[in-house]
């Protein structure tokens, strides 16, 4: 895996930052993006101790033109990238009985359209040179509808479907796209969850699974396996049974946040 180049979005903290550290340690040249300049600068500062290279490219992925510009700047400075990890995302639980436009719009604009803003210029370049790997971070919340996840789950289901649709077309063009579907990982995103998280994984372990997954050509990088396979079985349940189960996890008053 030595001397490869990657762009990671959502790398100021959490999963993205840890993948950046691990790849820098393994000899990759790593370009990192997020909105928080300070946190990116701290990560760049860690690179020396890791004996690696990390370069910061601040970016808000809701700005489509900025995504095109930043990707071009990275390739201009470091040469053609081997891999792109589109990981930036956010989560906000939604009380389904108080469903409204704005929280859903925010999730769609960041998780779905923000990823699309990065995908478009990357696919254009990678297809033109018939090489490159793209990994998109979705979630097991995209497998099937879950209470409080009507916004987040919809964006993550959209990403899984988009990657499935793109996989064979890009394959014919020499480009690999894969989809990362984590279960619960301990990060600032999940630290605010008020409920017990089954099979909660440490971020170092989750990042290591992604790094190993990037070495393979499989479509899916999913972990922790026991949890994600259990959720896959739920996908096969008929609706009557499925709703009997999900009804039990509807939060009581005041439990959503």
Ligand X SMILES: NC(=O)c1ccc[n+]([C@@H]2O[C@H](COP(=O)([O-])OP(=O)(O)OC[C@H]3O[C@@H](n4cnc5c(N)ncnc54)[C@H](OP(=O)(O)O)[C@@H]3O)[C@@H](O)[C@H]2O)c1
Interaction site with ligand X (CB under 6 A): 9-16, 34-36, 39, 59-62, 87-91, 110, 114, 137, 139, 182, 184-185, 187-190
Shortest reach from residue 58's CB to ligand X, in Å: 8
User: Structure tokens of 94?
Assistant: 């939604």
Between 83 and 139, whose beta carbon lies closer to ligand X? 139
Active site residues: 152
Between 69 and 131, whose beta carbon lies closer to ligand X? 69
Between 110 and 135, whose beta carbon lies closer to ligand X? 110
- Determine contact, residues 179/136, Cβ cutoff 8 Å: yes
User: Structure tokens of 160?
Assistant: 């899984």
Shortest reach from residue 193's CB to ligand X, in Å: 8
Of 64, 100, 77, 66, give the one whose Cα is nearest residue 29. 77
User: Structure tokens of 151?
Assistant: 């916004």
What's the first-to-final CA gap in the chain, in angstroms?
41
Q: What is the rounded distance in angstroms from the CA atom of residue 51 to the CA atom of residue 239?
A: 52
Shortest reach from residue 2's CB to ligand X, in Å: 26
Shortest reach from residue 76's CB to ligand X, in Å: 20
Shortest reach from residue 94's CB to ligand X, in Å: 15
Phi-psi map region of 197: left, alpha, beta (phi>0 left; psi -120 to 50 alpha): beta
Between 62 and 131, whose beta carbon lies closer to ligand X? 62
Between 228 and 256, whose beta carbon lies closer to ligand X? 228
User: Structure tokens of 80?
Assistant: 């053609």
């Amino acid at each position: 895996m030595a001397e490869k180049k990657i762009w990671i979005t959502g790398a100021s903290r959490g999963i993205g930052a840890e993948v950046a550290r691990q790849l820098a340690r393994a000899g990759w040249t790593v370009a990192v993006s997020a909105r928080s300049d300070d946190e990116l600068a701290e990560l760049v500062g860690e690179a020396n101790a890791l004996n690696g290279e990390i370069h910061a490219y601040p970016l808000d992925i809701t700005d489509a033109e900025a995504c095109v510009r930043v990707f071009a700047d990275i390739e201009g400075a470091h040469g053609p990238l081997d891999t792109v990890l589109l990981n930036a995302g956010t989560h906000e639980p939604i009380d389904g009985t108080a469903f409204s436009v704005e929280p859903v719009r925010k999730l769609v604009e960041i998780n779905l359209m923000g990823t699309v803003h990065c995908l478009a210029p990357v696919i254009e370049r990678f297809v033109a040179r018939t090489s490159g790997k793209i990994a998109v971070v979705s979630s097991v919340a995209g497998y099937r509808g879950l209470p409080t996840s009507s916004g987040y789950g919809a964006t993550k289901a959209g990403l899984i479907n988009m990657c499935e649709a793109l996989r064979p077309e890009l394959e014919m063009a020499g480009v690999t796209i894969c989809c990362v579907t984590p279960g619960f990982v301990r990060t600032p995103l999940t630290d605010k969850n008020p409920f017990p998280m089954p099979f909660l994984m440490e971020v170092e372990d989750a990042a290591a699974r992604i790094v190993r997954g990037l070495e393979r050509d499989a479509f899916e990088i999913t972990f922790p396996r026991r949890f994600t396979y259990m959720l896959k079985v739920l996908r096969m349940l008929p609706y009557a049974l499925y709703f009997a189960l999900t009804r039990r996890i509807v939060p009581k008053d005041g439990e959503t946040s």
